Homo-oligomer: A and B are copies of this chain.
């Protein structure tokens, strides 16, 4: 029950970790492209600008507040006394990176957080696409970065109670992907579906993304970014040799690839055509799912994690749309929340290498999953509901018709190109 201390890194490990952290912006860029490409052309600039602003907000707010609350194992924290034990629940660091040794590797975890919280905060933009106001998405990102993310991250990576229990999430399937994905789910509920998505009988119609090339380019960038996320996470939050990152890169690549192929096979078999957007979603779902266990599973297990993550995405996208009337243009809920939860469980089931090889690891993983669904989802829903009550997060009807680019930014993304004018609006 002593708090898990972050391993003291050798200078070599710290250097490698730093370089891996620097790949994380590629994950942000990749998700931004995927969200923009899966949205309508009249919201493309808005989507990209929202991603940039959310990354900016996340960095500034995490620097100001989030890093202090997340803390690191072995650093000051507040604990609740219950069931005869101390449950470490929130960091007690200094705001504005006050304790940061200027120069020196000790701030690596802060840099990791600063960048990865941006990735997590971009995830809901995919779900709110085409109807979420820029100001509201920034405000939502503030709440996420200042409270939701650091709270759960403290529990898992900051020496908190889940870390005390031995919960395993090296690369952030839970901390980054599921927290982002559940916020995305809350946003779809709060904003409601796009006009024209469901007919009066509640049947959904397909509103295809406006640029598949951007979406698939985003997958390549996300691949690179995730190797950074997963590798840096394994070094920072798992007491292993830095060389374990080679395995991490192998596993990350295999999971992404097998997930994409899984979706390709399933969509081909079911619809007679391979669905490019879903394949892209599958690729990222493989990445999201493998993060948790990337440092403790064998490559064959990474393939299995990917295959199942891909299958989950296909069915989850359909199920959410048909049964929960969730309109999620970027597929963020399925890709990040559903596949991320699967990844957390899979890490417990398939871990073959220490740490993480405990016989009841899967049970610990279930406790983390239950916490995400039973606590983080209501929390992030509640915060965004409050925000919506203060100031409606959805753009005005007129803005959705015009497109967010013209309505909120005053200029379209592609002013020189002719586009189809038949209005999906009227359907």
A residues sitting closer than 8 Å to B (CB atoms) are: 11-12, 14-16, 18-23, 25-26, 28-29, 32-33, 36, 40-42, 44-46, 48-49, 51-53, 55-57, 59-60, 63, 96-97, 100, 102-105, 107-108, 110-111, 114-115, 134-135, 208, 210-214, 216-217, 219-221, 223-224, 227-228, 240-247, 249-250, 253-254, 256-258, 260-261, 264, 268, 271-277, 279-280, 283, 298-300, 303, 352-353, 405, 408-420
Contact = CB atoms under 8 A, between A and B. Distances in A.
Contacts of A108: 246
Given A53-B261, A107-B250, A217-B29, A408 B227 contact: no
A405 B52 CA distance: 30
B415 A418 contact: no
A159 to B, nearest CB: 21
Given A208-B411, A244-B103, A409-B274, A29 B220 contact: yes
Given A15-B242, A49-B216, A241-B104, A413 B211 contact: yes
Nearest to A58: B257
Contacts of A415: 208, 210, 420
Contact of A417 (B59, B228, B419): B419
B52 A240 contact: no
A353 B100 CA distance: 13
11 contacts: A18-B245, A25-B224, A42-B416, A45-B213, A51-B216, A52-B216, A52-B280, A105-B243, A274-B409, A276-B405, A415-B420
A242 B250 CA distance: 22
A8 to B, nearest CB: 14
Question: Among the interface residues A18, A268, A280, which one has the most CB atoms of the partner chain B within 10 A?
Answer: A18
A283 B14 CA distance: 28
A341 to B, nearest CB: 23
Contacts of A303: 60, 63
Contacts of A353: 102-103
Nearest to A295: B103
Contact of A19 (B16, B63, B97): B16
Q: Which 6 A/B pairs are nearest by Cβ-Cβ distance?
A: A56-B257, A45-B212, A273-B410, A48-B216, A29-B220, A41-B416
A53 B257 CA distance: 7
Contact of A11 (B12, B107, B214, B246): B12
A417 B137 CA distance: 28
B250 A48 contact: no
B273 A409 contact: yes
B413 A246 contact: no
Given A19-B19, A102-B247, A210-B414, 8 more contacts: A18-B249, A22-B228, A29-B217, A100-B250, A100-B299, A103-B244, A212-B411, A274-B409
A289 to B, nearest CB: 15
